Amino acid sequence: MMKAMTSSRIRFLMPGRYSREQREPAESPRGQLVVVSCRSGAPLACQVVGDYERLLREGGVTRPVSHLEGIDFKFSDGETCVRLTADVSGHDAFLFQSLYDPASGRSVDENYVAFLIAARALREWGANYVTGVLPYLAYARQDKPTQFEREPTTAELMADLSIEAGIDRLVVWDPHTGRIHGFYGSVPVDGLSSLSMFAEVYKRFQGRDDVIAVAPDAGVSKFVMHFARALDVGCAVASKHRPRPEEAEVSEILGSFQGKRIAVVLDDMINTGGTVEATVIKLVEEKGIEEVYLGVSHNLCAPRALEGLSRLHARYHLREVIVTDSVPQTDTFRALPFLSVRSLSGFLCRVINRIHYNRSVDGIFAQVMGSQEN
């Protein structure tokens, strides 16, 4: 079977119009669309289905989108099983899973196994295509062994397992590293960047001389540099080292802070929040920053991070935190008055539409993100 292949690369959300031609209800050569979700991926998948049906109505079509919801379950001995509740033969399947799901308590490993078994089930029962939709790609941080330690490249192992299970395309939001694309070989990986989303979120600061964008570590410095250029503001990067696993110390923040009173700190992920906390404290205590705004692609909802963000808000001028629902957010984080969640639903809906009709996902406009706030 011939597959529609594209090169693996980062996809940037670019401003533009979403044309009527891209909403045409013509049959796709890939087969009938079906959205499939494991239990942890079901909440986001349900939102995407609703947005897709609204997209169809804009094009004059009222048919529902097929959704096989929550197809995984556990036997009494702890084994995971997947059971498809409808025929998928000849379908174009988009398989949703939240690999990290603090809202449910299911482990990363449990969710990953469910995803792999679901992909195999779709393949064995005749789906034409299986596109995995994993907004947060777990194990991506294990893309190389820790220096001087005997560790495997676990991110590559997970890619091998996913391909063997049957996926032929992968959609992820802000992957931790570009090395991920190489691990999947000829399987296209749409690694969707949040650059334009954050440029839209913080466009009120555009061109201001008193604003500086800050990278909490070198790993995100290039991203923050592009963000700073897009908004025409200053840029700085923190120098960080880890004395112990999951602990961070910031020795210096490199950049010109003359006349700067507002800092926009951007990071791809918050786990314990130690890096962000150390960076914000140094910005306030040593650089004289009066207001801090934090944007994060993936918030893992750790209790320690909740305490740290609350402390920064109370004592260190943290005014606002923007996160996405790439990871299902817990009620305790959603209750923070200074935190808001931007849903990826409307954007993923359009990504699926483009893939389903064999169109490039480039050019999907960032403005859709601005209206997806919970």
User: CA 80, CA 302: separation in Å to the nearest integer?
Assistant: 26
Q: Hey, which residues are catalytic here?
A: 240
User: CA 315, CA 301: separation in Å to the nearest integer?
Assistant: 21
The first and second tokens of residue 63, run together, are 């048919």
Do residues 185 and 147 touch, judged by C-beta distance below 8 A? no
Residue 73's closest CA among 63, 65, 64, 83? 83
Confidence class for position 360, pLDDT limits 50, 70, 90? confident
In the chain, the percentage of residues whose pLDDT exceeds 70 is 87
Q: Kindly tell me if the per-residue pLDDT of 216 is higher than 90.
A: yes
pTM of the predicted model, to two decimals?
A: 0.88
Burial of 335 (0-12, 13-18, 19+ CB in 10 A): exposed
Q: Kindly tell me if the per-residue pLDDT of 208 is higher than 90.
A: yes
Domain boundaries, the chain: 9-193+344-370, 196-342
Q: Kindly tell me if the per-residue pLDDT of 338 is higher than 60.
A: yes
Do residues 52 and 96 touch, judged by C-beta distance below 8 A? no
Instruction: State pLDDT tens for residues 160-192.
Output: 999 999 999 999 999 988 888 899 999 999 999
Q: Per CATH, which fold does 196-342 belong to?
A: Rossmann fold (3.40.50)
User: CA 295, CA 293: separation in Å to the nearest integer?
Assistant: 7
In the chain, the percentage of residues whose pLDDT exceeds 90 is 77
Confidence class for position 105, pLDDT limits 50, 70, 90? confident
Q: Are strands 80-82 and 129-134 parallel, antiparallel or unpaired?
A: unpaired
What separation, in Å, do the N-terminal and C-terminal C-alpha atoms of the chain show? 42
User: CA 297, CA 136: separation in Å to the nearest integer?
Assistant: 9
Instruction: State pLDDT tens for residues 237-286.
Output: 998 665 555 556 667 999 999 999 999 999 999 999 999 999 999 999 99
* pLDDT of amino acid 110: 98
Average pLDDT value for the chain: 89
Residue 155's closest CA among 77, 99, 195? 99
Q: What are phi and psi of 286, to 5 degrees?
A: -110, -25
Confidence class for position 9, pLDDT limits 50, 70, 90? very low
User: CA 20, CA 58: separation in Å to the nearest integer?
Assistant: 8
Q: Kindly tell me if the per-residue pLDDT of 2 is higher than 80.
A: no
Residue 196's closest CA among 3, 2, 362? 362
Instruction: State pLDDT tens for residues 153-165.
Output: 999 999 999 999 9
**Could you check whether 9-193+344-370 and 196-342 share the same CATH topology?**
yes
Q: Specify the CATH number of the domain 9-193+344-370.
A: 3.40.50.2020
